A and B are shown apart, each in its own frame.
Chain A
């Protein structure tokens, strides 16, 4: 282990380490601590010079109340779930099949197709913007949540294929061969053998995609700029909360916390899956 485990350190150094970890952590979380405190202040206090290191006086949940009671903002929040969940299902589902095809069969163009899926992840969104915008307009789904589901479903598929292909490639091929010898159809092999084995990957991937899509801001601005029941929560925070409460930092602070909450809760509940998904490949190269 590097550095040496602290259990082997001198007690005095160990105490110093413990202390420094907490100080650094406090400094690291300072911007978040400050804004959470602000969310419990009144707008009056904040506007009268209370934006420094002050405690709420009086303590107030007005910011949270106003943010949460705003129908449009709440709409964008609920809407986020209705967009994110289908996107996770679509992209993970399609990618599991594609990943299976790309890893357990041999055919011409295989590598090229895999490269296209990987490369698609790297493109700047802006180069897709106008054509995708046009497409959603032609389909009559512009400014509705279907536009976001439609686009994110496809875009996230790229990352999911990359992930799934690498995961499925590690599964032993003998299992599939044995099933084939026994006369199982390819579809049956996929549903009965591959699917149960990739469950951990599906879990890790779902958590990641949930977070990625929940946090999207750009596409919501582009595809659903004028529709509270089409946009995602971060866009709601910017367009609705900031638009209407630009001089009430308590509302904006509470709104930010609300938008942050679902992925944060998800992360702390499913930490193992999250980290596993994120670090896939980081240690194997």
Chain B
């Protein structure tokens, strides 16, 4: 029996593990490797060093990419203009506060992309409190409220590409918001304007995310023991105080999951940007790392640089994952 037990788990694990390593783990290292190279994605040679042209007519060989080692050049290229742009942005804000007439400075596409990612990271999590508000609003048991809950939730199951179409139509300068645009003087609409487009896309991203956070919080609210709430009520706590002192701490697991999923969603944003603006209007006004990488690789055939952007995105994500894991352990120790 001992023998069976020693090998059995590995036999059960083997297929999933090999498959997952091949398509998820190994490619991570692959991208790191490519990011130190210059490669146009289309030049190959045989693995034994011969050119593909030297092959006999019916001969075939294992194709390997012809890449040039460039070390950290791609990374330098990405951050080349960052100090200059930071300086310009600083001057802009100094100007704002000292009352000088200033205009938003010209910055490189890379800086725009990074800035947009920061906007996503800061604004996208607003879906969490809104989702909580919805959950509190709808945490009732009559059947009609339960049906309403599913109506609130179902936008979550829509493909982000569909959400993008829905909001592109909704934001249309000649669409339902026309009157509001007229009143505000926004002639090109929310996503037709370089300065506003990213906010419009983030707002579209809230739509399914609010639904998700709501459902997570509803599950959390159901899991709170009624006795605890009653006890707090007997102590005289109600309304905001009850929410802050008793309910919110109890909802921590839900908040934590909502935070993790939302932050990762913010960094992953690709579909909405790709469909709604394709990174525009203008050069990179709504672009984010995830889409810029795709564009650089597929359209500009700059595979090395694309891989570099992917690695930068990955490293940013790692920072968040590390914080989350640390929080998780910290919380476990407290409990």
Contact = CB atoms under 8 A, between A and B. Distances in A.
B265 to A, nearest CB: 11
A34 B243 contact: no
Contact of B159 (A134, A215, A281): A215
Contacts of A83: none
A234 B224 CA distance: 39
Contacts of A119: 321
B326 interface: no
A209 interface: no
A285 B28 contact: no
A117 B17 CA distance: 8
Given A51-B176, A132-B23, A279 B317 contact: no
Interface stretch (B8-16, B93-101, B108-116, B192-200): B8-16
A155 B17 CA distance: 11
Contact of A180 (B1, B310, B321): B1
B79 interface: no
A52 interface: yes
Given A31-B170, A158-B20, A268-B150, A283 B219 contact: yes
A221 B271 CA distance: 10
Give the bracket for the number of chain B residues in contact with chain A. Answer: 35 or more
Contacts of B154: 264, 267-268
A213 to B, nearest CB: 10
Interface residues on chain A, size class? 35 or more
Interface string B236-280: 000000110011000011101100000010011011001100000
Nearest to A207: B157
A126 B293 contact: yes
A124 interface: yes
Contact of B247 (A2, A217, A237, A255): A2
A127 B223 contact: no
A124 B222 contact: no
A193 to B, nearest CB: 14
Given A31-B167, A119-B321, A218-B270, A51 B172 contact: yes
Interface string A22-53: 00110011111011001000000000010111
B224 A35 contact: no
B294 A129 contact: yes
Nearest to B222: A283
A123 interface: yes
Nearest to B217: A282
A154 interface: yes
A46 to B, nearest CB: 9
Nearest to B317: A124
Interface string A138-155: 100000000000110111
Given A34-B176, A271-B150, A282-B257, A124 B268 contact: yes
A61 interface: no
A154 B141 contact: no
B157 to A, nearest CB: 4
28 contacts: A1-B139, A1-B229, A2-B229, A25-B151, A34-B175, A51-B178, A52-B176, A94-B19, A97-B15, A110-B9, A122-B264, A123-B28, A129-B306, A185-B4, A215-B157, A215-B161, A216-B159, A221-B294, A235-B161, A255-B165, A256-B162, A260-B158, A263-B158, A267-B154, A279-B216, A283-B223, A283-B253, A285-B331
Closest 3 CB pairs of A and B: A285-B253, A131-B30, A283-B223
